Amino acid sequence: MQQETSVKAFEIHVDRKDIRRANLVETPAPIAGPGQAVLQIEGFSLTTNNVTYAATGDIIHYWKFFPTGVDGQGIVPVWGFAHVVDSNSDALTKGARLYGFFPMASHLTITPQARGSSTVMDMAAHRKDLPVVYNTYRRVGATDPTEDAKRALFQPLLATSFLLFDFLTDNDWFKAEQIIIGSASSKTGLGLAKYLAEAKPDVPAIIGLTSDSNRAFVTSLDACDQITTYDALEGEIAQRPSVYVDMAGNADVRSRLHHHLGDNMVYSCAVGTSHWDKFTPTGDMPGSRPRFFFAPSQIEKRRADWGPGVIDRRIDEAWRRIADTSGGWMQIKTDTGAKAALKTYRDLAMGIMQPNVGHYIAL
């Protein structure tokens, strides 16, 4: 485990035009104003999901959650844990512990409003028009650090995987005969493959698309019916009605697959940008026009369909079910401190990663 002397208060600022460029910025320790609470962040996960937040920060407004006040600089959101160190709010008392959406930083000041006994919502003016799911924080008790790391790593990623699975079932697979998962080695991609595999035989064929270097890892998961490398997709993917779930955001791969399948590309779903540096606007292509999948929209739809709490319980059960089996295929690597967070983020943004390693930063 990498260790360092802690910085009293810090933020990691990312260049919004070149997300590989990030710097550690020391800041004054915040003080709670009227109606506010100051949270000290204990730890958070870092994955290519966070790179996607940065790569789509302007398009999907992720930069708006935690503004820096510095032109051209943003703070990447992360999932993790924090506790209250200062409060002038009846909704949160000092010492309360929360799980949720935080800045890549040491502290966050929120304007909390209680939502039942188990959650609070940040009512800060700059967040009022942003998705409720990201503005909601869940009260949690003290837990084992290993369990904290597992939750911060798997819950947001596998929640997206499950919501993708639910979206596809909700649309009767778009009448597809095969579902092609781009970047199947990504944690969201492997999660989707596993949820689809759980539903066999009542699902289309599951095709994992990956690099040659990650093929053995995807094979070891035993979830896909077929595994194809990017170089071989034209020769190995059958010409039949298909859904493409694109975790990578690689424009060249997307274009090749659309041209290969033509009108058999019945739905093209853009989810992530793990290959963010190869993500460019797509011109006219055969088949279905790519549409971005925004997980909070599916949550809101299911809350309307099923009533409050149902989709939340199903997500919770689903991510825990897969995470509980992760010991055989995922190593959680914990590093400590601001400098470790900065290095890990930079590595992920540069594409330096291992599919069987998940990163957690303890502060």
One pLDDT digit (tens) per residue for the chain, 363 residues: 444 434 479 999 999 999 999 999 999 999 999 999 999 999 999 998 899 899 889 988 999 999 999 999 999 999 999 999 999 999 999 999 999 999 999 999 999 999 988 999 999 999 999 999 999 999 999 888 899 999 999 999 999 999 999 999 999 999 999 999 999 999 999 999 999 999 999 999 999 999 999 999 999 999 999 999 999 999 999 999 999 999 888 889 999 999 999 999 999 998 865 444 444 555 689 999 999 888 889 999 999 999 988 999 999 999 999 999 888 889 999 999 999 999 999 999 998 988 899 999 999
- Going through the chain in order, the beta strands assigned E by DSSP cover 10-15, 22-26, 37-46, 73-74, 77-87, 97-103, 107-110, 112-115, 119-122, 136-139, 178-182, 205-210, 226-229, 242-246, 265-270, 291-292, 331-336, 357-362
The pTM is what? Answer: 0.88
Q: What is the number of other CB atoms lying within 10 angstroms of the CB of residue 178?
A: 21
Bridge-partner residues for 246, per DSSP?
Answer: 182, 270
Mind listing the pLDDT tens digit for each residue in 228-286? Answer: 999 999 999 999 999 999 988 888 999 999 999 999 999 999 886 544 444 455 568 99
Sole residue written with tokens 């689903």: 318
* Helices 48-55 and 187-198, axial angle in degrees (round to 10): 110
Q: What is the pLDDT of residue 6?
A: 40
Q: What is the pLDDT of residue 281?
A: 52
Q: In what helix (H) or strand (E) does residue 339 lie, and over which residues does it extend? A: helix 338-349
Q: Which of 333, 182, 360 is nearest to 258 (CA)?
A: 182
Q: What is the pLDDT of residue 282?
A: 58
* CB contact set of 109 (below 8 Å; sequence gap of 6+): 30, 32, 33, 36, 37, 38, 39, 124
What does DSSP assign to residue 184?
T
Nearest-angstrom CA–CA distance, 256 and 230: 10
Does the domain made of 155-298 have the CATH classification 3.40.50.720?
A: yes
Cβ(107)–Cβ(36) below 8 Å:
no
Q: What is the pLDDT of residue 40?
A: 98
H-type alpha helices, 108-180: 132-135, 145-170
Per-domain boundaries in the chain: 10-142+330-362, 155-298
Mind listing the pLDDT tens digit for each residue in 122-147? Answer: 999 999 999 999 999 999 998 888 99
Mind listing the pLDDT tens digit for each residue in 99-120? Answer: 999 999 999 999 999 998 899 9
Domains 10-142+330-362 and 155-298 share a fold: no
Q: Which of 190, 234, 228 is nearest to 326 (CA)?
A: 190
Nearest-angstrom CA–CA distance, 84 and 285: 51
Nearest-angstrom CA–CA distance, 284 and 211: 26
Q: What is the pLDDT of residue 155?
A: 95
Query: What is the domain class of 10-142+330-362 according to CATH?
Result: alpha beta
Report residue 142 as tokens.
């003290």
Q: What is the number of other CB atoms lying within 10 angstroms of the CB of residue 235?
A: 8
